[in-house]
Chains A and B, each alone.
Chain A
Amino acid sequence: MPLFATVVSDITIVLDIVDLEISWLNTGRILHKSDMCQRREVHMGGFLLRRAAALIPVLIVVAIVTFLLIHLMPGDAAAVMLGPEATPQQVETLRESLGLNQPLYIQFFTWVGNALQGDLGQSFFIGLPVISVIQAALAPTINLAIFAEIFAILVGVPAGIIAARKQGTGTDQAVMVGALLGISVPSFLLGLFLMLIFAVLLGWLPVAGYSPLEDGVFETLRYLLLPAIALGSMQAALIARMTRTSMLETLSKPYLKTAKAKGLSGNRIIYKHALKNAAMPILTTIGQTLGTLVAGAAVVETVFNVPGIGQLIVNSIERRDIVVIQGVILLIAVSYVLINFLVDVLYSVLDPRVRFS
């Protein structure tokens, strides 16, 4: 444990340096703001650098937390994983192959080093590398997450716009109550209810299962429609709320009065002039929820028996295959961080003023 403390204090020093770096870049930003147009290229570069630098400490903590999971197991991790019937010999072999006999910091650096090379370890139970186990399960989960996000955007954005345009009316209230319901019903529960109504009672859609994209998008959609609605409802609610807030703020802006004074139609003013300005916070919400969506997909999958990451996780929990779980959550957390980074970058590309937050 003292060794671990050293590692932590080393990391803190690194973090402080990064912090300094960030604050230095921050000052640069203020200096540049006045003559932004001339120095846009410089700016974009600095901005990306600053954002990228801020990722490092987060990724380090993500790595530490993921790594420590195996040590959260009560007693001897190898013994727990193998169960009570295992012989001491088997336990020792597994312990050796997991590297658990080595000092903690060496374990950590070995693990990080391997992870950076794409090696997330070996699943003891399946006998395959974790990375290929995950790869095999990835497609359904990603398809589900994408379908859900599309559903959420198609429902959330228009609902938010309508609510903002009719602020204070019954329509507005209906949208807001709907959004509250969407936030209050957990996705797996909504999934069960949808399954009960549309699959069991009405028989319109398959109860469970999955059809890969290669066999036709329509089939995939048939299987993933209910899961996508179940999963996307909460995002739809969050997006609707954010769209409403952002639109309300934009609708009072003077340039919309200019647009009206030009003689443009109400729809053109709302959907072209207002929406593009209101888009940034909406985009952030979408980006932020995308990571949660992948995690949520794992839960909803188990409702509908979609053979994705969620099934993998549930099976791994039963088997206490912690190595697979480590791999999965590391991958999802890292992609979550990267998605947010990309959203930030997209932000600055979309907004000509290069707004920095």
Chain B
Amino acid sequence: MTDTMTVGSLNRINKTYSRRSMFLRRFGAHKLAVTGGIVLAVVVLVALIGPLLAGDPLALNPSQRLASPSFEHPFGTDNYGRDTFARAVAGARVSLLVGAVTAIITSVLGAIVGLFASYNRIADAILMRISDGLMAFPAILLAIAIMAAMGQRISNVIIALSIVFTPYVARIVRSAALVAKEQTYVEALRSQGASLFRILWINIFPNILSPLIIQATFVFADSIITEAALSFLGAGVPPPAPSWGNMLLDGKTLIYNAWWMTVFPGAFIMSTILAVNLLGDGLRDLLDPTFNRRK
């Protein structure tokens, strides 16, 4: 038993190693995905160090209201004289934070729910009906309803988005786990009396990892879009804290006077989502051979 385990883990290490180098090589060949990755890295960098350089996003400056883009205010100022660049950069922090935290929470919850469902028939019936029901609501609408009930707060945005997106992750994890479970070596391990936890961790988990990562990138993108939409509707990040969505809401009322209040936060959202989608598509091509073949 110990012998076979060692050989097994050795094989696994070799496999991981060769897989990783191949992964990097193919990723390098995937120009669009790399572009996406670079753009996303820039946005993350801006979100991390930008606020240190751009100044206070909340600083009012009545003498500088609705100033068009200039050297001093590269993205112009809003109706309170706040610097649009500083606000867009601070908004990047909020958006990325909401997106990343939601992606992590939904991945963890989705993995737990999906694995559990794949292992217990009764749990499966209940959990999948619940997820069917939740998925019957258009995502944005359910998020709006939850926010309307719970009230505007960043933490509530994350909770609402997690409720909305977990079923999608759970579905994917469940089907991947069911496929992995059918494989003969899992049967063999079970007959040898390996513990459920061990089987889940060593044999099932690696198999659900790829779909989970791919889905997490899409949840990340969708969360950023949905957060922006929520804030735009006045049901997301509460002002005066800047978020791309509530900046657009301000921009909309002043669209005749200050185009920059719409264009710059809009461009931030667009490039971020495009980058994440490119990255996600690239990851899917790389990690999911079945999908690749179907294409």
Residue positions of A touching B, CB distance < 8 A: 12, 15-16, 19, 57-62, 64-66, 69-70, 72-74, 80, 180-181, 183-186, 188-189, 192-193, 195-196, 200, 207, 245, 291-292, 294-296, 298-299, 302-303, 310, 313-314, 316-318, 320, 322, 325-326, 328-329, 332-333, 336-337
CA A195 – CA B229 in complex, angstroms?
17
Interface contact B277-A184, CB-CB below 8 Å: yes
Whether B136 contacts A314 by the Cβ 8 Å rule is no
A281 CB to closest chain B CB (Å) equals 12
The 8 closest A-B pairs by CB, nearest first: A61-B133, A295-B138, A72-B149, A184-B274, A295-B141, A184-B273, A57-B129, A186-B225
A186 touches B234 (CB 8 A): no
A314–B234 touching, CB < 8 Å: yes
Shortest C-beta distance, A291 to chain B (Å), equals: 6
Scoring B residues 262 to 287 as 1 if CB is less than 8 Å from chain A, else 0, what string do you get? 11001001100110011001000000
Rounded to whole Å, the gap between the CB of A300 and the closest CB of chain B is: 10
Cβ-closest chain B residue relative to A9 = B126
Q: Check if A303 sits within 8 Å of B252, measured CB to CB.
A: yes
Instruction: List chain A residues, Cβ under 8 A from B133.
Output: 57-62, 64-65
Among residues of B, the one whose C-beta sits closest to the C-beta of A16 is B125
User: Judging by beta carbons under 8 Å apart, are B138 and A189 in contact?
Assistant: no
Which residue of chain B has its CB nearest to the CB of A12? B126
Which B221-272 residues sit within 8 Å CB-CB of chain A? 221, 225, 228-229, 232-235, 248, 251-252, 255-256, 259, 262-263, 266, 269-270
Q: Indicate if the CB atoms of A192 and B234 lie closer than 8 Å.
A: no
Given contacts A57-B129, A189-B270, A193-B266, is CB(A336)–CB(B149) below 8 Å? no
Determine whether B142 belongs to the interface, using a CB cutoff of 8 Å to chain A: yes
* From A74, A294, A326, contact of B145 by CB (8 A): A326
Interface residue? B147 (CB, 8 A): yes
CB proximity of A238 to chain B, nearest CB, Å: 13
Whether B137 sits at the interface, judged by CB under 8 Å, is yes
A-chain residues with CB within 8 Å of residue B137 when the two chains form the complex: 62, 65, 329, 332-333, 336
A192 touches B262 (CB 8 A): yes
Q: B130 at interface (Cβ–Cβ under 8 A)?
A: yes
Task: Give CA–CA (A317, B140) in the complex, Å.
Answer: 14
A332 to B140, alpha carbons, bound, how many Å? 12
Within the complex, the shortest CB–CB distance from B280 to chain A, in Å, comes to: 10
Question: Which of B146, B248, B277 is A189 in contact with, Cβ under 8 Å?
Answer: B248
B97 interface residue per 8 A CB criterion: no
User: Do A74 and B151 touch (CB < 8 A)?
Assistant: yes
Q: Does B38 contact A (CB under 8 A)?
A: no
Residues on the A chain within 8 Å of B42, using CB:
none
Contact flag A181-B274 (CB < 8 Å), given A189-B248, A196-B263, A299-B229:
yes
Give Cα A72–Cα B159 distance, bound, in whole angstroms. Answer: 12
- What distance in Å separates the Cβ of B160 from its nearest Cβ neighbour in chain A? 9
- In the complex the two chains form, what is the Cα distance from A80 to B145 in whole Å? 15
A65 CB contacts on chain B under 8 angstroms: 133-134, 137, 142
A296 and B140 contacting across the interface, CB-CB below 8 Å: yes
Judge if B148 is at the interface, Cβ distance under 8 Å. Answer: yes
Q: How far is the CA of A191 from the CA of B232 in the complex (A)?
A: 12
* A189 in contact with B266 (CB, 8 Å): yes
Q: Quick one: given A57-B133, A189-B269, A336-B138, are A195 and B146 in contact (CB under 8 Å)?
A: no
Contact B145 A329 (CB under 8 A): yes
Let me know if A12 and B125 touch, CB within 8 A.
yes
Q: List residues of B (142-177) whose CB comes within 8 Å of A's CBs.
A: 142, 144-151
A196–B233 contact, CB under 8 A?
A: no
Residues from chain A with a CB closer than 8 A to the CB of B148 are 69, 313, 316-317, 320, 322, 325
Cross-chain pairs A/B with CB under 8 angstroms, 5 sampled: A16-B125, A186-B225, A188-B229, A192-B248, A320-B151
B270 touches A184 (CB 8 A): yes
A320 CA to B146 CA in the complex, in Å?
11
| From B126, B142, B229, B277, contact of A329 by CB (8 A) | B142
Q: How far is the CA of A314 from the CA of B229 in the complex (A)?
A: 12
Asked if B288 is at the interface (CB within 8 A of a chain A CB), the reply is no
The answer to whether A325 touches B270 (Cβ under 8 A) is no
Interface centre among A64, A70, A193 (most CB of B within 10 A): A193
Q: Which listed residue, B136, B150, B263, touches A73 by the CB 8 Å rule?
A: B150
User: Which residues on the B side are within 8 Å of A336 (C-beta)?
Assistant: 136-138
Q: Is B233 in contact with A299, judged by CB distance below 8 angstroms? A: yes
B56: interface (CB < 8 Å)? no
B132 at the interface (CB under 8 A from A): yes
B221 contacts which chain A residues (CB < 8 A)?
184
CA–CA, A12 and B122, complex, Å: 9
Q: Is the CB of A188 within 8 A of B248?
A: yes
Which of A185, A303, A326, A328 makes the CB contact (< 8 A) with B270? A185
In the complex, what distance in Å separates the CA atom of A135 from the CA atom of B166?
A: 32
Whether A333 pairs with B136 at a CB distance below 8 angstroms is yes
